[in-house]
Every structure is written in C-alpha cells, then in structure tokens.
Structure 1
Amino acid sequence: MPFPPGKKEDIQMEGGEWVKASDGIEIYAKTWKSSVQPPLAKVLAIHGLNEHINRSGYNFAFGKLAEAGLEVHGIDMRGFGRSGWLSGDRGYSGGLEVVLKDLGEAIERTYVEGVPLFIFGHSMGGGLAILATHKYLNKYPITGVIISSPALGVPPDQALPWPLTAIAGGLAKVFPRMPAPNKIEGSQLTSVAANAQAYMDDKYVFHQTIMVGTILPVLFAAGNFAEKEYKSWPENLSIFAFIGEKDKVVDPPALKEFMTKLPAHDKKAKFYEGAVHELLHEVDPLPSLVADEVKSWILAHADAKKNGKVLKAESSTIEVVSKEVWSNYKL
C-alpha cells in the first residue's frame, strides 16, 4: 500500500531539484558542480537499495570529485529517497525497464559532447550501472564504469534454492508490488557505530519491506550479465571496481569472478581487508582513500580519452588492500 504523497515544502532539498521523467513523474536530482567549466569529465551516480543519493558518503566523495574538476549528477530513483517521499510510492521503482528508462534520461541530462562520461553505481546501483551501460553504450560514448560493492550475487548463506528462486522470479512479474523482507541493519553496512545509526535514523532511507518487482529483476538481470552476458563487454570499455572483503550484503567472490573473466583490457578491482559494504561510510581514512582513488581513476581516463590514448591494466586485475596499508593512508 503506497504511503500518502509527501508535500514539497516538507522535503529538505539539500541542493537538489525536481526533474520530470518522460511520463511526468517528478524525480529528485542533484548535481555536484565542477570547480572548472567545462568540467574535465561528467559522472552519473546511481545509489543502492533503500538509500538515496544525498547521503553523507556521497556528498563527501562527490564533493571531492567536483573540487577536482569533475561534475557528478545523481537521482533518487522512483520509490527511494525524496522521490519516494514525494510520490508516496515508497519501495517500488516501477520495475527494471522503468528504472533503465529513467537512467537513460539522466544520462541524456548529464552527457555533453566532447566531455568524457562515466557511470558510477553502488550495490544495487552497481548492477544497474552495468545494465544501463550495456543498454545505452551505442547511444552515448561512455568512457568508463565504476562499481562500488556491486550486487552481482548474494552471499551463499542468503541464496534461495533454485526452485524458490524460480518462484520468486515469477511472482515479481505477476505481482511486482508484493512486499518482500527488507531488513538491512546499519551495522551490516559500516563498522562505524555513528554512521550505522545515522543510516537507521535517516528518514529518506526506507526500512519497510521492499517490493519484489523493484529488487528481484535487478538482481536476476545483473547476475545473468555477470554469469553469461559478460562476454559482450567491449574490450575498450574501462572498469574500476571496489568492495569490502568482509561484505555480507553482496558477494565479494562474485565480483572477483566477474572481473577476472570480463574481456576488458583495462580493468581493476580492489578488495579492502576488514571493510564491509559501504566503503564511503567506513572507518577513516578509508572513505578518503576510496574517493581519491575514484577521482584519480576518472581523471586519468578522461585525460586518456582527450588525448586519444588507450589504457590497459599494468598490473593484476585483482588487488587485496590490507588493512595495515589502507589504515595508514595520509589524509
């Protein structure tokens, strides 16, 4: 049952704005403006399940990118954050095709000819980043993809037996608004108690049940791409992935397998020892390290694009970053 629609005057905009999707639905959007114009590159950011684009970790990281001359645009997807608060339709995205259409419109708003374009996605948004890139690459010259703790698989102890998976998939098609358990504790996302509590207290993070038509089609499609369709990834499309080695929300081994077999010439995955799901909300200095690595990766690839260079990975695709190393990163 949808919640009553919210009132715009009751919604804290935090630098964002309302944009209209092609079907007239109003969606919350925010842009972190580059410190230079035109920007050195533009980035479309896609948030994860339950959450929204205006959380502190995103503001911190995207602020760093903006200071470095990169411009970031993100939306609260339908059913989430301020978009869900306004519509009252919390937890329901409209389904995978609707989400991909909204993301295509966000890419169109973001893209400027001659400015390198990157797609960033976290968790469920990581799966959507892959799917949106696959769908729109022929229309927009995407330079690179960054996936943070992507939902390419669930930990084995959370996986449903095959018959139940098939049943769940069928229910998602027939009864997309059927509720499913959606209890994610803040302590599963970060080892920082204050950040975990902030997640639980955030009124724009929806802790109610999620609709099966929101999450299952994304999980199935992203998992299918990682397992079968990965061969269609262009060799010249760069990708950077990172994840906490102790992540229990998504499956780190699934990311390792995906990145190992992906045919991209330029690919890199970093696994941070001791960290869990949300690296941008983890213990210092990890958020700064991750934000700086994303910034450096984008800048290097934007420069290569500008100068017609082709980058190839110079070291192992998979890198485990020890806690001793990352905890000594100088801010």
Structure 2
Amino acid sequence: MDTTEGEFTTKDGTKLYTKTWKPRSDAVQAVLIFLHGFSDHINAYYDLFPTLSSSPFNVAVYGFDQRGWGRSCHKPADNGNTGPTAMVLSDIHDFVLHVASLPETQGKPFFLMGHSMGGGEALCYMLSTSPDFSNRPAFSGLLLQAPYVEMHPSNQPSFLKVQAGKLAAIVLPHTQLKQKLSATYMSRSEKVCQDWINDPLCHDTGTLEGLKGLLQREAELSHLSHGRTVHGYTTKSPCPIWFSFGTGDRILSYIAAQQLFNVLEAPNKDKTFKSYPDAYHKLHAEPDGVGEQFAKDVGEWILARGNKEAEVVQVGQSQSDLKADGGS
C-alpha cells in the first residue's frame, strides 16, 4: 500500500489538498472517492483507508480536504469558507473528473463515499439533475456513512435562529461562526473524542454562507425523505446505494436517514441499510471491533458490486466477439 499527497486545482483556480491510498497498480480492484465531514479532514479517518487499500480489498482511495477544511486552508480566513452549495458540488465534480482522468483509474469500477456532511453532499451530487453534472462518470455504487439528512433532534437549531442566519448570510456571507459538534458523541472511544478536540485542523468554524448552504442541503434531503418533490433533485439513484448508521449516533438523525433510504430507488432495487447497534458517529473509529467490522463491510460491499461490473463488461465483450465472428 502506497500513500501519496498532492493537490488538484478546481475550475476557479483554487488548489485543494489531496491524498491517495493505493495498492499495487496491478492489484487495484476498484476506485473509491471519499468526502469527509464537517470540521473534519481526510487524514482523520484512522485505519479505514489503509484497510480498504490493502489485501483482500485492494481499493484505491482518493480523498481531498474540501474547500474551507483541513490542509486546504492556508490562512485563518479560509476556515469554513466553503462558498455556497453550487461551489461545494462543483468542487466535488471537479475532483471526480480529475480522478476519472488519471491513467491508473481507467477501466476500474468507480465508487463514491461520504461521511456525515460529506454523505449529504454525496447524496446531493448523485441525486442532482443539473446539466452541470451530465458528464459525471458512471458509478458502480454510492456509500454513505452517517449521512447528514437531518441533525439529531437534540441538536436541531430553532426556526428563528435558522432564519436569522439566512438573512445575515446575504449581508455578511464570509463572516465566520463557531459551530461546535459534541466531541462526546463522535465515538465511544475516549481517545478518538480527545483526538477530535486536540486536532487543530478540526476548527469548528463555518461561514454564514457555508452554514446556510449546509442547512439548505439538509432541508432539501429532508423534504425528499418525506416524499416531497424538490426542484433539481430526483429520488432515483443512478447506482446501488449502501447506507450505514450507528443507532447511538446523537450528532445526526438515524431516523431521517432511514426515511430517505426508504424513498430512494436504486437499479435492480440494490440498496442496503446497515445499522450498527449503539455505535456513535464515527463508525470507522468505534472501539470493540466495530470500526474493523465497518471497514470490512465497506470493502466487501465494494468488491461485490465491482465484481458484478466486471462480469457485465466480460459478457458485453463476449457478445461483441461473437458478433465479430459472425455469431448471433
């Protein structure tokens, strides 16, 4: 397994930090693009990516610190300065196209995975009907770890606070605001909770514009989960879907994620909701073997869909060979 750090440039010229975890090139079974959560970064996922990129899974993992987060921030004013949802999704699309253009990813099944805020973004990106993403590559699967569909009821901001924030965002979009998530409920591991507190890259800072976009994406996904029509979105996923959530998560809503899962359609009805009893928000960093089981579940789901993709390609090639030989 090799790790490589670098950067890629978005269409507006912004340079964002990237990191890859790759098995030997001749061993790669699939390509996974990963989107991190709020106030998080791609180097804070412990053993998840090294496990996926090692045998028996051999998945090449490509991640980046999103605009406003992690090592993509070069000065304090960058913290949380994600821009509006259009920019967030544009950055994701730029990175997807960047990874899809690399020589080593050609011919490999593609997967997208998001955690928490990144899970909500992955859903918005894959369910968007915008023509801006019409050249999105074909994905073999969408994986969601505790996706942000709604906040846990204990964390929901009041209606008045949300409305006031939206109005302020129009006037002062780049004003920064601390928005702390509870470290206590990140993981049942005290070390993981303390790591979150001590990590200077987990800055808990959003801008009014960025937070407005985050709440707007939550509202749109929440509306979809309740069977409402949302302009610019569909409930038909272009690929199989895997949801995962800890029943003890008190950061985001397990029930809202289940509701959205229930209304989403996937090709051949290939969708799975995996619950982890009593687990908290960072499933990949849960103790007592849960984190290891989570990584195994992710790897096995990816390989199963990747192998199906390979079988389809092989059947298609065989039929082409038959036609070329004059067969029917």
| CA distance in structure 1 between the aligned counterparts of 2:75 and 2:26, rounded to whole angstroms | 33
**Who is 1:187 aligned against?**
184
Match of 1:260 in 2: 262
Over 3 Å counting, the alpha-carbon distance change for 1:303 and 1:223 in structure 2 is farther
**Alignment match of 2:195 (pick from 179, 183, 198):** 198
After superposition, give the CA deviation of every residue in 1:43-94 in whole Å (9 maximum; x if it has no partner). 110000001001142xx11111111221111110111101114575112112
Distance 1:198 1:33 in 2: 25
- The alignment of Structure 1 onto Structure 2 pairs a total of residues equal to 293
Q: Quote how far apart the aligned CAs of 1:203 are.
A: 1.8
Name the counterpart of 2:51: 64
Larger Rg: 2
Evaluate the alpha carbon distance shift between residue 94 and residue 246 of structure 1 in structure 2; reply closer, same or farther with a 3 A threshold.
same
Change (3 A) 1:113 1:129: same
> How far has the Cα of 1:167 moved from its partner?
3.6
**Aligned match of 2:214:** 218
The Cα offsets for residues 117-149 of structure 1, whole Å up to 9 and x where unpaired, read as: 111100000001111223436531112111111
Indicate if the aligned counterparts of 1:85 and 1:204 stay in contact, CA closer than 8 A.
Answer: no
Q: Which residue of 2 aligns with 1:139?
A: 136
Retained in 2: the 8 A contact 1:241–1:268? yes
- Distance in 2 between residues matched to 1:95 and 1:285, nearest whole Å: 38
Residue aligning to 2:72: 83
Pairing 1:108-119 to 2, within 5 Å after superposition: 108-111=97-100, 112-119=105-112
User: Which range moved further: 238-247 or 163-172?
Assistant: 163-172
Structure 1 stretch 278-287 or stretch 213-222: which is displaced more? 213-222
| Aligned-partner residue type, residue 153 of structure 1 | E
**In structure 2, C-alpha distance between the alignment counterparts of 1:168 and 1:80, rounded to whole Å:** 21
| Pairing 1:40–2:36 present | no
**Is 1:124–1:219's contact at 8 Å kept on the other side of the alignment?**
no
Q: Which residue of 2 aligns with 1:243?
A: 245
Rounded to whole Å, the distance in 1 between the matches of 2:93 and 2:276 is 31
- Aligned to 2:140, what secondary structure does the other structure show? strand
CA distance in structure 1 between the partners assigned to 2:153 and 2:48 by the alignment = 31
Alpha-carbon contact 1:133-1:142 (below 8 Å) kept:
no
1:31 aligns with 2:31: no
- 1:127–1:150 Cα contact (<8 Å) kept: yes
Instruction: Select which of 97, 107, 116 maps to 2:96.
Output: 107
What is the TM-score when the length of structure 1 is the normalising length? 0.81
- Residue identity opposite 2:153 in structure 1: P
Structure 1 residue 220: Cα displacement: 1.8
Aligned amino acid, residue 218 of structure 1: L
Percent identity at matched positions?
Answer: 25
**Structure 2: gaps (5+ residues):** 314-328
Task: Please name the residue that 1:270 is paired with.
Answer: 274
CA 1:236–1:88 in 2, change beyond 3 Å: closer, same or farther?
A: closer
Paired residue for 2:286? Answer: 282
- How much does 1:164 deviate? 4.0
1:130 is matched with 123
Aligned-pair CA distance for 1:263: 1.9
Shift >4 Å, 4+ stretches: none
2:173 aligned to which of 176, 179, 182: 176
**Is contact 1:236–1:266 with CA below 8 Å preserved after alignment?**
no
